[in-house]
Structures are given as C-alpha cells and as structure tokens.
Amino acid sequence: MTPTTDIPTIAVDFDDVVVNFNRAYINHHNDNYGDPQITFQDAVTFDMAKLYGITPNEVVKRVRRFCTNHHDDMTLRTGAREGLARLSDQFDLQIVTSRCESFRDITLAFMKENGVNKYFSHAHFTNGFGTVFPDRKKTKLEVCREIGAVALIEDSPGNAQLVADGGISVIVPECPWNTGQIEHELVHFVPDWETIPQTIEQMNPVT
C-alpha cells in the first residue's frame, strides 16, 4: 500500500491515545473482579496479565467481554478531539490499532458517535490483540511503512520502540506504563493532547 494523499500521513493509535481505555477498564475490573483492586497509577506495566495476576488467555476473554458489553464506558482523552482537528488540517490521519478486526464495527461506531471519525481517512486493525485472525497479524511498523507514515502517536512502549527503531518518529502521551520505558532519539514524550500538535509541527515531518 502506498500513501493515499499528497500530504504527510500520521498514524494514530486508538486505545489510550484517542480514548481512555485503561481508565474505563480498571473501573470495570474493580467492579467485576475486584482482586486485586487497581488504580490508574498502579498500571505501571503494559502487560495486563502481570498487572492483574491472570493468564494472557484470561486477559483476552475479559477485555473482549468488556469491549462487547461496556465499550461506551470509555471516553475520549482530554483534548483529543481538538488535537485531532488541528492535526487533520495539515496531515492525513490514519488509525493504526492493535485491536483485532473483530472490533472494527464497534470501534468505528464509537468514533462516529463521538465525532472523531471525520478526522481519519482510514482505520487499520493489526490483530495484535487476541487470536481471532493470527494469519492477518501485522506489526505497527509494517503498517506505518505501508501507509507511508512519517510519525506514529502511540502509548505502548514496545510498539513505540519498534517503530522508532524502524526509523519513524513516535509521539508518546505519558502514562504510568510507559514513563521512563523508552530512550530513543525518535521518541518524543508529551504530557497531554494539547502538546501533541505543536510537538509534531516542531518536528516538521516530511514524506
């Protein structure tokens, strides 16, 4: 796949970049599973199995149950709508998420209901989470290269490291699970969405 527009493409993760996944999921966990009780600041690892003391398979089951029944409990990250609007004036924005393709409809519906779908030209589901389509799994680096992305906005330290090692700039909104986890000249930490557009603009990315 080649870039679809004449303007630079920015890849944008979905969970904990556009929406507050972990904040909503932690509340869901505490209400439905309870042990251990978790706060947002406790989430110092991206490994949910380690954080909740359960198997990876159980993580997949619980997250799938949450997304199927409580997806609308999530809210947009503060400033995301305004930041996306500003970026979309200068860049082609494309969602690049680790979500499984089986979450496509519910994800796109959420984006439409919350008025952010208009800022994105495409949405790519890499099947990095779950095992429904293992033969269609891709890394975010692969997708970023396919779409010609000049930067990725991403909260996962592993994905950020991989993409930066591949020569693509990464903007990382600070979260408990990524703070201090990455040191790379192409990785730029930001405190919130208010600073993301100006950070990207100062980078002056080109295709």
- Rounded to 5 degrees, what are φ and ψ at 62? -70, -40
Count of structural domains, the chain = 2
Q: For the chain, how many helices (H) and strands (E)?
A: 8, 6
Look up the domain containing 47 and give its range. 21-73
Other CB atoms within 10 A of residue 62 CB? 18
Residue-wise pLDDT tens digits, 108-148: 999 999 999 999 999 999 999 876 777 889 999 999 999 99
| pLDDT value at residue 205 | 64
Judgement on whether residues 136 and 183 belong to the same structural domain of the protein: yes
Judgement on whether residues 187 and 150 belong to the same structural domain of the protein: yes
If pLDDT is split at 50, 70 and 90, which confidence band does 14 have? very high
Judgement on whether residues 85 and 41 belong to the same structural domain of the protein: no
Final residue in a domain of this structure, among 73, 88, 107: 73
Let me know: does 171 contact 154? Beta carbons within 8 Å.
Answer: yes
